[in-house]
């Protein structure tokens, strides 16, 4: 039993250490790319490389497709339950034969505590607008509770991939998403969680698991040492 606790504690500590290292690598890359110039997508649009663009700032000019909003559920902000508002954005003056749409997370809305399906109203800018945001590979993933809802306009879903949205909407999407940071007077909150959030938490968990493994080993050694002399002090039984 002791060996199992020691092995389990070390294994979990190493896993938490690796998670912390991964978050630290993300933070380092994020800081480097935040210092880069803003990417501007022009009319001569090609499918972009996600690895080269992730965490860079990007400026877009075009229009929101207000008829295809989707809401990501289970995205709390400051302890309040809510949704991310997702909407496709059609790039201006782009060739219809290429991926001329980008899926944008416009911001956050609180959830109605009495009716989960009731969404607050919010304005969508009409016509051509310019927005800025941060390039992300995806919107992250939360624990899926129950079956996923059919993907359609106004759907409330817990997780969403760009490929799934492209299939359902028939829009030709770039293989990345944008977390909007610019203000478009729509009353949505844009306090996006940092991708590297949780480094210290993983470090703390790793320390706790290492400590548990050490305590299990020390307990085994101490109790074994105490039992040893007791066994040797017992008189031998005569036949």
Alpha helices of the chain — where are they, by DSSP H?
A: 2-34, 50-53, 162-169, 199-233
Q: Is residue 64 part of a domain?
A: yes
Q: Is residue 219 part of a domain?
A: no
| Residue 80 within a domain | yes
Give the SS3 label for residue 60: strand
Task: With respect to residue 65, please indicate whether it lies within any of the assigned structural domains.
Answer: yes
- Domain-located, residue 141: yes
pLDDT score for 103: 96
Query: Is position 126 within any domain?
Result: yes
CB-based contacts of 137, cutoff 8 Å, min separation 6: 50, 54, 176, 177
**First-to-final CA distance of the chain:** 35
pLDDT at 239: 46
The rounded distance, in Å, linking the Cα atoms of 76 and 149 is 20
Tens-digit pLDDT profile for the chain (239 aa)? 777 777 777 787 777 777 776 666 766 777 776 777 888 876 555 656 788 888 889 999 999 999 999 999 989 998 899 999 999 999 986 666 677 899 999 999 999 888 888 888 899 999 999 999 999 988 888 777 767 778 999 999 999 999 999 999 999 999 999 999 999 889 899 988 876 555 677 577 667 777 877 787 777 777 766 665 555 555 555 54
Tokens of 70: 């989707």
Give 4-22 as a 3 state SS string.
HHHHHHHHHHHHHHHHHHH
| Residue 15 lies inside a defined structural domain of this protein | no
Entry pTM: 0.70
Residue 239 falls inside a structural domain: no
Residue 176: its pLDDT value, please?
93
* Of 59, 57, 60, the residue nearest 34 (C-alpha): 57
Q: Please state whether beta strands 129-136 and 57-64 pair in parallel, antiparallel, or not at all (unpaired).
A: antiparallel
When divided into structural domains, the chain yields a total of 1
Task: Assess contact for 172 and 166: CB atoms under 8 A.
Answer: yes
Residue 128 structural domain? 45-180
């Amino acid at each position: 039993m002791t060996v199992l606790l020691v092995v389990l504690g070390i294994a979990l500590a190493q896993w938490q250490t690796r998670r912390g290292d991964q978050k630290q690598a993300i933070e380092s890359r994020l800081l480097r790319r935040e210092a880069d110039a803003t990417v501007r997508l022009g009319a001569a649009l090609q499918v972009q490389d996600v690895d080269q663009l992730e965490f860079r700032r990007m400026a877009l000019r075009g229009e929101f497709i207000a008829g295809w909003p989707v809401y990501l559920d289970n995205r709390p902000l400051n302890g309040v339950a809510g949704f991310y508002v997702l909407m496709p954005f059609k790039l201006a003056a782009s060739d219809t034969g290429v991926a001329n749409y980008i899926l944008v997370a416009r911001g956050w809305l609180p959830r109605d505590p009495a009716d989960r399906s009731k969404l607050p109203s919010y304005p969508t800018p009409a016509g051509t607008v310019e927005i800025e945001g941060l390039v992300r590979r995806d919107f992250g993933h939360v624990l899926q509770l129950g079956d996923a809802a059919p993907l359609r306009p106004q759907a409330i879903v817990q997780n969403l991939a760009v490929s799934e949205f492209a299939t359902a909407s028939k829009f030709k999407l770039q293989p990345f998403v944008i977390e909007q940071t610019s203000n478009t007077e729509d009353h949505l909150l844009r306090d996006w969680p940092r991708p590297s959030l949780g480094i210290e938490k993983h470090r703390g968990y790793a320390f706790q698991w290492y400590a548990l493994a050490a305590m299990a080993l020390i307990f085994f050694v101490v109790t074994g040492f105490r039992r040893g002399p007791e066994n040797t002090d017992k008189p031998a039984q005569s036949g």
